Amino acid sequence: MDLLKWVKVMDQKMTSLRVEPNLCAHLISPKSTCQSCVDHCPTKSISFSKKQIEIDDHCLECGLCSTVCPTNALLFNRPPLNQVISELVHLCEQNEIVYLHCEKMTVSDRDVTTLTVPCLGMIPREAWVTVLNKCQNLTIYHSDTSCTSCEITTGERVWKKELHAGEKMAGSSIEITSDITYSAKHKSFDQDRRAFLSGFFNEIKATNKLAIKELLGSSEVSSYQERRQENTHSKVKRELAGVSHHLYEKMTGESALPYMNKRFFLLTQLEENETLQKQKDIRLPTITDDCNFCGACTILCPTAALKMDTDNNRKSITLDPAKCVDCSLCEDICFTKSIQLQHMQNRTLLKKEQRLLVKGSNQ
């Protein structure tokens, strides 16, 4: 990898928030009703310019915007969500009792196994499902008053909403306590040293994954203007990007696409849990027969979940369920109101592309 690419990798790693304007529904169309990041930012540090999401110097680096953004146009890097969940699962496998807490709830005893995050609100419901299924010995260390004096004023609202949704999906709950229960097994190692080394090596792993992604050329998100080009060059470019994404996912066990950052957790759990498959926790678009095939939904969809094809006078619109993140943009922009988001069984996300509507002489 050349020096310029390496500098770009380090810049992405050092930045607390990775911003992908091409994924922002609000920037793609003025008809979008989404401004969740603005509504939930505790310091009102987020605003929109014509082509960019602006973050001012008052940002607290709490990660709430990444949690509430459906498309992950804002992606929190300190620490990365994948790293937090992986570390939680590992700690729960190795210890009798593990506590998860925010930075306000400090634990000074080295014999207590804990994991600290900037704010519990940085964990979305999809990740909570993984935690609930794999970390039965995890407890949230939190008091009724810890959020009242916190500068992250919207944090409690977000984390309790996301946790409740995750518990409903997983069909189980997690204990919340303001008291520490000490493990019967005494820790024979230096907890601070272990935490430091663990954090150090996780940083190296995360940087290496970014380097691999950059090397494969799969780190960029296409704009809707690029996706609407149907020339040979653009098709080849998309195919190469698809191959790069597949290679990255095989090598790292993570999704190469920013908007799949949260969805990846749910997909993994769906493959293992038949009960979760039967539930209706997701919404996907349906299209009525009065659709005029203007193509706006397929062109503007941030994640390219919708696609329109024309073949021998027959038009069709297909959906890749796993890529649909319920941002509502297709519903907001449809002039004829022919698209509606409806609750469906979670197992639908595991299906391949499906046709939503077909019209034409060869139908």
- Which of 145, 163, 198 terminates a domain? The answer is 198
Are 94 and 194 found together in one domain? yes
Dump the DSSP string for 162-212.
HHHHHHHHHT---EEESSPPPPSSPP-S-HHHHHHHHHHHHHHHHHHHHHH
| Alpha-carbon span 307 to 119, nearest angstrom | 37
Find the DSSP H helices in 180-301: 191-216, 224-227, 232-252, 263-272, 274-278, 296-300
Are 194 and 291 found together in one domain? no
Residue 343 C-alpha from the chain's centroid: 20
Task: Tell whether 322 is covered by a domain.
Answer: yes
Residue 313: the pLDDT is 83
Task: Tell whether 126 is covered by a domain.
Answer: yes
Residue 185: the pLDDT is 54
Q: Which domain holds residue 99?
A: 81-182+189-198
What tokens does 26 get?
Answer: 């609000």
Are 194 and 89 found together in one domain? yes
What residue has token string 């954090």? 199
Dump the DSSP string for 106-167.
----TTS-EEEES-GGGS-HHHHHHHHHH-TTEEEE--TTTTTT-S-TTHHHHHHHHHHHHH
Residue 196: the pLDDT is 44
User: 292 by DSSP, 3-state: which?
Assistant: coil
Are 101 and 194 found together in one domain? yes
User: Quick one: 167 exposed, middle or buried, by C-beta within 10 A (0-12, 13-18, 19+)?
Assistant: middle
Task: Tell whether 128 is covered by a domain.
Answer: yes
| Alpha-carbon span 246 to 231, nearest angstrom | 23
Cβ atoms < 10 Å from Cβ of 220: 12
Are 194 and 86 found together in one domain? yes
Residue 193: the pLDDT is 46
- Which of 198, 225, 244 terminates a domain? The answer is 198
Q: How many domains are contained in the chain?
A: 2
| Predicted confidence pLDDT, tens digits, the chain (363 residues) | 566 655 555 555 556 788 999 999 999 999 999 999 999 999 999 999 988 999 999 999 999 999 999 999 999 987 889 889 999 999 999 999 999 999 989 887 778 899 999 999 999 999 999 999 999 999 999 998 889 889 999 999 999 999 999 999 999 999 999 988 765 554 444 455 455 445 544 555 565 665 656 655 555 677 766 666 665 555 555 555 665 655 655 666 666 678 888 999 999 999 999 999 999 999 999 999 999 999 999 999 999 999 999 888 889 999 999 999 999 999 999 999 999 999 999 999 999 899 998 987 554
- Which of 171, 198, 225 terminates a domain? The answer is 198
Cβ atoms < 10 Å from Cβ of 215: 16
Residue 108: the pLDDT is 77
Residue 257: the pLDDT is 78
Spatial neighbors of 2 by CB under 8 A, at least 6 apart, are none
Task: Tell whether 221 is covered by a domain.
Answer: no
Residue 18: the pLDDT is 86
Residue 17: the pLDDT is 86
- Which one-letter amino acid corresponds to residue 251? M
- 167, 178 in Cβ contact below 8 A? no
Task: Write the CATH number for 355.
Answer: 3.30.70.3270
Task: Tell whether 205 is covered by a domain.
Answer: no
Task: Tell whether 294 is covered by a domain.
Answer: yes
| Alpha-carbon span 29 to 325, nearest angstrom | 17
| Alpha-carbon span 288 to 238, nearest angstrom | 29
| Alpha-carbon span 186 to 31, nearest angstrom | 58
pTM here is 0.83
Residue 361: the pLDDT is 55
Task: Tell whether 317 is covered by a domain.
Answer: yes
